[in-house]
């Protein structure tokens, strides 16, 4: 049985409805912009870290003669498998010791990176004659190398040579630069206090 409708209930009904509308309006709405802001922050941090790494590599290359080399063959496997990237530092020949893994530059040929098996004095005080052998090879290289300096391997990271080679591609590098620029512009573009551009508040008529 329905309750009887009285004047008092009719007077109270608009107030109840108004309270219900106010409660609905007060409910927090999901902030979609917030999730987009988090993604932008993460991407900006990644870009910043990448930029810092690139700057450090440039500084180390000029100050400490530290550079990167990539291994396309497996002659140093399993110590340094094919597809690895090694961090190398140029040192004087007088510092070479048996057991070091070094890169020797060869005129008209690609550099070779193998392990030192012997060291002998060269024609001058700064020169050394060294023999090399890849860890995967059964014999020394065909001939010794007379060097005044070499690049010694400090450490290597397997499996990233393809990525590093791709980063050196002008097309990929240009695309990454444009993407990073667009990300920075989007992240710092002025927005209205409400978190979006172009939103208008409409009043009731």
In a domain, 133, yes or no: yes
What is the model's pLDDT at position 53?
Answer: 66
In a domain, 56, yes or no: no
Segments of the chain with pLDDT less than 50:
10, 15-26, 197-205
In a domain, 157, yes or no: yes
**pTM of the predicted protein model:** 0.59
At 75-86, the pLDDT tens digits run 999 999 999 999
What is the model's pLDDT at position 88?
Answer: 94
Is residue 33 helix, strand or coil?
helix
The total domain count for the chain is 1
Please enumerate, as own/partner, the contacts of 28-36 that have beta carbons within 8 Å and a separation of 24 or more.
Answer: 31/195, 33/195, 33/196
How many C-beta atoms lie closer than 10 Å to residue 121's C-beta? 11
Q: Going by DSSP bridges, is the β-strand pair 145-147/85-92 parallel, antiparallel, or unpaired?
A: unpaired
What is the model's pLDDT at position 43?
Answer: 66
What is the model's pLDDT at position 200?
Answer: 46
Q: What is the CATH number of the domain that holds 71?
A: 2.10.109.10
Burial (0-12, 13-18, 19+ Cβ within 10 Å), 124: exposed
At 16-38, the pLDDT tens digits run 444 444 444 445 555 555 555 67
In a domain, 145, yes or no: yes
In a domain, 113, yes or no: yes
In a domain, 42, yes or no: no
Quick one: tokens of 43?
């991407």
Which residue range(s) make up the domain with 147?
65-167
In a domain, 4, yes or no: no
What is the model's pLDDT at position 80?
Answer: 94
What is the model's pLDDT at position 171?
Answer: 58
């Amino acid at each position: 049985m329905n309750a009887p409708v009285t004047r008092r209930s009719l007077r109270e009904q608009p107030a109840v409805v108004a309270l219900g509308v106010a409660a609905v309006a007060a409910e927090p709405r999901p902030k979609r912009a917030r999730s987009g802001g988090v993604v932008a922050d993460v991407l900006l941090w990644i870009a910043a870290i990448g930029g810092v790494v690139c700057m450090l590599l440039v500084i180390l290359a000029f100050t400490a003669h530290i550079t990167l080399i990539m291994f396309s063959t497996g002659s140093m496997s399993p110590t340094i498998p094919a597809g690895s990237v090694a961090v190398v530092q140029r040192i004087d020949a007088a510092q070479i010791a048996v057991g070091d893994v070094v890169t020797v530059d060869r005129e008209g040929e690609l550099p070779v990176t193998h392990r030192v098996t012997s060291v002998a004095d060269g024609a001058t005080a700064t020169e050394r004659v060294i023999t090399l052998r890849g860890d995967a090879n059964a014999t020394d290289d065909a001939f010794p190398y007379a060097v005044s300096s070499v690049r010694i391997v400090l450490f290597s990271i397997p499996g990233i040579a393809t990525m590093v080679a791709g980063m050196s591609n002008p097309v990929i590098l240009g695309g990454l630069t444009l993407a990073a620029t667009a990300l920075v512009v989007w992240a710092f573009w002025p927005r209205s206090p409400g978190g979006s551009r172009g939103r208008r508040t409409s009043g009731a008529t």
